[in-house]
Structure 1
Amino acid sequence: MRGRLTLAFVCFAFVMVGLAGAIRLNALAEVTRSHELEGLTLNARFIGTLVEDLEADGLPVTPDRLAAYVLDETELTITRAGSAPVTVADPGFDTGARDEAMRVDETVGSTTVSVAQDASVLREETRLTQGPLLALLFATVLMAGLVGLAVSTALARPFRRLAESAAALGRGRFDFEPPKSTIPEVVSIATSLKTSAIQLQDSLQRDREFFHHASHVLRTPLTGLRLELEELSMRDDLNAEVRRAAARSLADAERLEATVTDLLNFARARSLVAGAEVSVLTLGSDVAQRWRDQLPESREVRAYVDGGPEFTLTPGPVEQLVDSVVRDNTVNGTGAVTLRFAGQQEHVKVTVSSGPGSNGGQDRPSAKVAETIAEVLGGRCRGDATSGELEILLPRR
């Protein structure tokens, strides 16, 4: 986005500067031409007056007398009635390109003076006149590019933060902080993302509550029914038909209980965000590297995978919980931050430690925060304020 905005600024500036520059360059070319024509006209009038004075004094008009008054890269032609034309050319004048030369004809008395200037003079003067303007136009486009880069960076920053927030939500994290901006579109998207995060977190908590409630409500009566049927089928005073009916009902109750167990296990094992799963090894490496980049070099961050590196899980909830613990431990702890990950069939265990704290062994805020988050996610958390170690157990989903 930043590159496109910068390119848009440069293109807009190029079009506007190009239009204004073309008009100004043409105007400068016309001014230069007019200036050169005016100089040639004055020179022709001067030569005409000089020739008239020479004729009045009875002196012949020869090329030698006129050579000193010929301008650089010009050709001078004197025409008088009854006399042959006199032509004097500067050595720098290109006689082979007379048709391209700029020409001025002036008549003074009975003398007609024609001054032709080499076309290269006008081109060189035009180039010298337009050079500073072209440099200014180039500098303007370059400045527009720099300004466009700065403005586009400022405009793209909140959208980049929005993309990071959306990616965090896609990993199952609900604790991201949307960017604060006055851009209406950014505010609208940020509000939608935050609302979605709250709704997803509430939905996750309701799912957990439903699983526990369903497990209790369905399994308890089924267990009681199964026990009653077992007891009934063991009675001696039943006839054969009732005993067979009790056995069939007991088998049906057992199948129903197994079905309920399978459905609840499937619901618990279902991924929180489909397609976002990563391995325990990848999760541990990413979390450790992120905190190595944030902490000073004096605070070492160690990461170990004690088991189940190939197990996959939704990373967001684990990242959210581990980050809140590590953030508090880096403030209150004094030693190296140690992260230990262990993947299990249904859970992942994470141990975070940073050595004895500097708060006199009092409870760290991270312990309560971690416990609250873990309960919402269906796990549990145990903390040791003295050693600065927290053990986190979370479902893999």
Structure 2
Amino acid sequence: MRRRIISLTVLAALVATVLFALPLGIAVMQYYRDDTKADLERAADTVALAVSADLKAGRTPVVPLLDHEDDEVGGEVGIYGPDARLLAGHGPAVGGPVERQAASATVDVVLGEEGDEVALAVPVLSGSRVTGVVRAALPMSELRLRVALTWLGMAGLAVAAIGVSWLLARRFTTRLVRPLEELAAAAGRLGDGDFTARGPRAGIAEIDRVGEALDATAVRIGETLERERAFSAEASHQLRTPLTGLRLQLEAALETPDADPHAAIRAGIASADRLERTIEDLLALGRERRAPQAELDLDAFLEEVRQAGEALLTPRGRALRITRDDPPTARVAAAAVRQVLGVLLDNAATHGRGTVTVVARDAGDALAIDVADEGPDLGETDPFATAPSGHGIGLRLARSLAEAEGGRLRLSRPDPPTFTVLLPAADPPLSLRK
């Protein structure tokens, strides 16, 4: 690309120079011809004025010395008689067509080429009679030299202009190509998985927009992959809860062969339904971090909590108690809240002891759901910290889901361990609206 831009720029400069130089060269040649004619005519007129009296009186004329202004051309001057023979000065002994035409007095000035000279002749008149002819001439080689030197200077300027265009094209292509090469390198790093790769800023609007688009793409891809990794970890943790409940139910059925198998099958089907619901919730939350909100059906929701909790606790020989204390309604995404309560129930079943108590109550401007068990005092332990083993992922996920719904998840009491989910009430009290 660099070579192509430079070649096209130099070619364009060359074509423009040629198109400009050809007519200019012709104009220069014509200018020097006209200038030479003017110089010769001025010299001839000066001499004609000086010798007109001698020619009129029949005396042999003497060519006067010309000053610098009248002799700029640097040529030779000769004086001829009416018969076109040389009387004084320099020139052919017998005049040629230029001198003879001037002697005929049909024109005031005659210009032509004689041999290797440019000759100009003017008649010297006495009344209507021609008394002589003044001839001024300049070698053609001198005229050609003046034209050639000017053309050579023009050629030098043309070469300089093309050289400058080459330098400017090289500088411009360096400025243009270098950020493109850096963009290509950044895109390559992005393709290799380096999502910190950023495009350069070249000060060229179009390239800068490409760099900004590449940066935005890198950020989006990085966030997407990070979200996918987090979703994988969260999904594996969340799926473990219903799978554990299903396994415990099946193991309990195996340990009691005399029990009704239909009850175990129904419990297994219910656990499978909860597992399917969990998968659907996780997929919905994975596609968009904030699921559509609607008014929470608290009765149906607490029934789901009861079924999920009993599936986890009953095989362990533990009880679940759910109470309501005039709870308000909340407008939230049911999928997110189900996952939050699922994490808290799994945490109580796995790490707690005794009866697990779930209380839905009014917290002023929020619906509060407490999940408590009879386990040991947590003390200063941060339950939301993720351990190297992966413990804590669920609580961290639950907290982020609660915050995404505009609520909070916190450890309200370390002893006995009690976690509280606060969800914004759908209809806050009038005192809070003022």
Structure whose CA Rg is larger: 2
Q: Quick one: higher RCO (CA 8 Å, sep 6+), 1 or 2?
A: 1
